[in-house]
Amino acid sequence: GASFPDALAGGPAAAALGGPVLLVQRDRVPQVVLDELRRLRPERVLVLGGEAAVSATATAQLAREPFVVQRVAGAGRYETAAQVSSTVFASPAPLAYVATGADYPDALAGAAAAGAVRAPLLLVARDSVPSATAQELARLDPERIVVLGGAGAVSDSVTRALASHAPSVSRLAGVDRYATAAAVARSLGTPRGYFLATGRGFADALTGGPAAARAGAPVLLVPTSCIPAVVHVEMERHEYPPVTVLGGTGAVSALAADLRPCVRVPDGELADGVRLSTIDDPRGPWSGKVVSVAPRAQWRLDPVLAQDALPGLETTSSMARRTDALVAVNGDFALSGGRPVHAFARDGRLLQTEQTLGRNFAVSATPTAHIGYPSQDVRLTVHDNGKTAPLSRVNSGASGPGALALTTPEGGRVAPVPGDSCAARLLRQGAPALDDAGRAVQAYTVDEVSCGTAPVAPGDDVLTAPQQGTWAPLLRELVPGQSVDVSWSLGWPGVLDSIGGNPILVDKGRVVEGSVDGTDPFSRRNPRTAVGYRPDGAVLLVTVDGRESDNSAGMTLRELAQLFVDLGAEAALNLDGGGSTTMVIGGEVQNVPSDGLERPVSSALVLLPGSAPSSGGALRRSAPAGRAPEPLPVEQQEAADERIAADPGSTGGLMGSRSSG
């Protein structure tokens, strides 16, 4: 029950054998599962996956019961799916379903469909057919293969490769997981009912798949709180047959169970001073969303770090939900694993110095927006002697003998404290504040200092310098209990929050000619996200759809820049785009993600209630207490990394543009 891959292929197999799918913990079979097995009294129990998924301890529990226990497993998810298929399905097969093994939504609906027609479900990588899958397809010799999900999940090159295994290969896909599930349901003909399950988790739909297949009821996926229009359309086609809801109200709310429709937020005032408008321009054609935030609005823009860690990947909607944001768009480009490319600061804490020459968007306490090249100035001040030292890197590791670096808990994975350095562990004293010069200042007490001996234990923050470096003597002089400050500025006074992007699109009300006229894939038409501001201080958040959208071709950088000029922008900055482009309002995605589903990203820019403090005021954290991010499974992180690196509108295109330039 802790992971999805083994059970994906197991659903159709269970349906073909007339049995259910039950979930267990890795090292234990829960009592409720044992009770159900005793009620069912099966002759045989198939355990799916290796001992890393279901341990020998758990299978030993099952072996004490009066039925045969058989493990079906291979070396990884692809081989396990192939083993499940070969254990249950005979050859030749009329039909086989194929879905990505990197994520679950497409296969959830497909598993129920495959079970209904007694067909196997096999897994592939986005851009390749694993050998185990190819061998099982060769054994099955199917007449027809149906690929589940769009090209962002299973590429066109894979569908072409699958053509060597069957006379007919077709694809069932929609613009997102809900539309794909509806397309799968539509392919099955007239249903006797529908099963509804959350599209934001896998467990309910996995176990419900065989029951749905037996009932002749396709599985439709829904958000927690409502029913998407595409799902309503599918149910309406058959005059709303009986519905079975899988899972508790935390998965599918009472409102969703009552078939409350999800409605795209209409244009107009979202809140006082916050307005939504739609881009609908046939010239491109272009479609998109614009949110404008007036300077008088009691709302403030806040950057959010995915997973609250470096690196980290998380969907924009997840970051919006856990911060209770009214509006959110995806943020900076992502390096491998989700590290933002440029400088990043939040709530008065500088969490990363730039990884490459940066452009940044920032908002000061006045509030005044800024877009440009940040002038990073980070300094340590020792209170009792007035000594100061420049910090060259924050959460970026040491660099040369003249480096003085700062590591925070957010950056411990990418900038661990070197064991052979001089290090001072610091304990924060209160929240950051703005000084009279408009610099963000964090006060600390020194807790421990070590040079060349055992490394200091992690603290709130740790200063490090090479033992023989320029700043090692300064660290050696620090003593526990001593007061120090770390202050920073990006060159704009009063800035507390900042997020990066590239390139600058508009400056002083004009298109930046040298930045937007490239001929490389990054500069051509892609889905886009960008931020800008007008001369009156109003901030503009813009997303433009592309690729998977029928009515939007995406924008070139120049077209995007011209859009901001037409919107009256004084300045504008391009953010991560392509499949990363996402706008969330009220917790729901409002645009059409070009991957077919929402992509995890490195960061987000969210609109939160309240305003930043004036100079000298202490800051408060904006994230509600206890709303920790949910970790992204490794396979989803790897899939997101691959998409980001290959996407011409995202980091892949940005890096390619820089290397070609």
Q: Mind listing the pLDDT tens digit for each residue in 529-584?
A: 999 999 999 999 999 999 855 578 999 999 999 999 999 999 999 999 999 999 99
The percent of residues in the chain predicted with pLDDT above 90, rounded, is 63
Q: Which residue has the higher pLDDT, 8 or 560?
A: 560
User: Cα separation of 623 and 608, whole Å?
Assistant: 9
The token duo for 125 is 């990588």
Give the model's confidence band at 230: pLDDT under 50 very low, under 70 low, under 90 confident, else very high: confident
Place of tokens 């054994």: 139
| Mean of pLDDT values over 338-352 | 95
Q: Which helix (H) or strand (E) holds 642?
A: helix 634-646
Per DSSP, helices labelled H in 478-614 are: 513-516, 557-566
Which residues, listed in sequence order, are joined to residue 46 by a DSSP beta bridge? Answer: 70
Cβ-Cβ contacts under 8 Å for 153 (sequence gap 6 or more): 99, 100, 102, 103, 106, 126, 173, 595, 596, 597
Q: Which of 209-218, 435-444, 463-472, 637-646 has the highest mean pLDDT?
A: 435-444
Cβ-Cβ contacts under 8 Å for 639 (sequence gap 6 or more): 100, 102, 103, 126
How confident is the model over 141-183, as pLDDT tens digits?
999 999 998 888 899 999 999 999 999 999 998 877 888 899 9
Q: Which helix (H) or strand (E) holds 243?
A: strand 243-245
What pLDDT is attached to residue 189? 86
User: Cα separation of 30 and 344, whole Å?
Assistant: 44
Whether residue 586 contacts residue 221, with contact meaning beta carbons closer than 8 Å, is answered with no
Residue 440 has pLDDT above 80, yes or no: yes
User: Cα separation of 203 and 187, whole Å?
Assistant: 24
What pLDDT is attached to residue 621? 35
What pLDDT is attached to residue 259? 87
- Total Cβ atoms within 10 A of residue 432: 23
Per DSSP, helices labelled H in 117-201 are: 131-140, 156-162, 177-186
Which residues, listed in sequence order, are joined to residue 462 by a DSSP beta bridge? Answer: 407, 425
What pLDDT is attached to residue 617? 39
What pLDDT is attached to residue 263? 63
In three-state form (DSSP H/G/I as H, E/B as E, the rest C), the secondary structure along 371-410 is EECCCCEEEEEECCCCCEEEECEECCCCCCCCCCEEECHH
CA nearest neighbour of 372 among 479, 497, 476, 505: 505
How confident is the model over 366-396, as pLDDT tens digits?
778 999 999 999 999 999 888 999 999 999 8
How confident is the model over 300-335, as pLDDT tens digits?
899 999 999 999 999 998 899 888 899 999 999 999
DSSP reduced 3-state for 238: coil
Residue 612 has pLDDT above 70, yes or no: no
The percent of residues in the chain predicted with pLDDT above 70, rounded, is 95
Helix/strand/coil percentages in the chain, nearest 5: 25, 30, 45
Cβ-Cβ contacts under 8 Å for 584 (sequence gap 6 or more): 316, 317, 320, 325, 327, 328, 329, 590
Residue 611 has pLDDT above 60, yes or no: no
User: Distance of CA 275 to CAs 256, 280, 361, Å?
Assistant: 27, 16, 20
User: Cα separation of 193 and 211, whole Å?
Assistant: 12
Cβ-Cβ contacts under 8 Å for 638 (sequence gap 6 or more): 102
DSSP state of 164: G
What pLDDT is attached to residue 614? 41
Whether residue 529 contacts residue 316, with contact meaning beta carbons closer than 8 Å, is answered with no
Give the model's confidence band at 660: pLDDT under 50 very low, under 70 low, under 90 confident, else very high: low
Residue 635 has pLDDT above 60, yes or no: yes
Residue 661 has pLDDT above 70, yes or no: no
Whether residue 24 contacts residue 48, with contact meaning beta carbons closer than 8 Å, is answered with no
User: Distance of CA 479 to CAs 404, 426, 429, 446, 587, Å?
Assistant: 17, 11, 16, 6, 48
Q: β-pairing, 243-245 with 268-271?
A: unpaired
Question: Mean of the per-residue pLDDT values for the chain?
Answer: 89
Alpha-carbon dihedral sign for residues 462, 464, 470, 476: positive
| Mean of pLDDT values over 28-50 | 94
What pLDDT is attached to residue 445? 96
| Mean of pLDDT values over 441-469 | 86
What pLDDT is attached to residue 591? 86
DSSP state of 613: -
Q: β-pairing, 421-428 with 440-451?
A: antiparallel
What pLDDT is attached to residue 626? 39
**Helices H / strands E in the chain, number of each:** 17, 36
Which residues, listed in sequence order, are joined to residue 451 by a DSSP beta bridge? Answer: 422
Residue 631 has pLDDT above 80, yes or no: no
Residue 616 has pLDDT above 50, yes or no: no
Q: Which amino acid is at 602?
A: S
The token duo for 393 is 């890197």
| Mean of pLDDT values over 341-362 | 93
What pLDDT is attached to residue 460? 85
What pLDDT is attached to residue 623? 40
| Mean of pLDDT values over 55-67 | 93
CA angle 534, 535, 537 (to 5 degrees): 70
CA nearest neighbour of 576 among 547, 607, 550, 605: 605
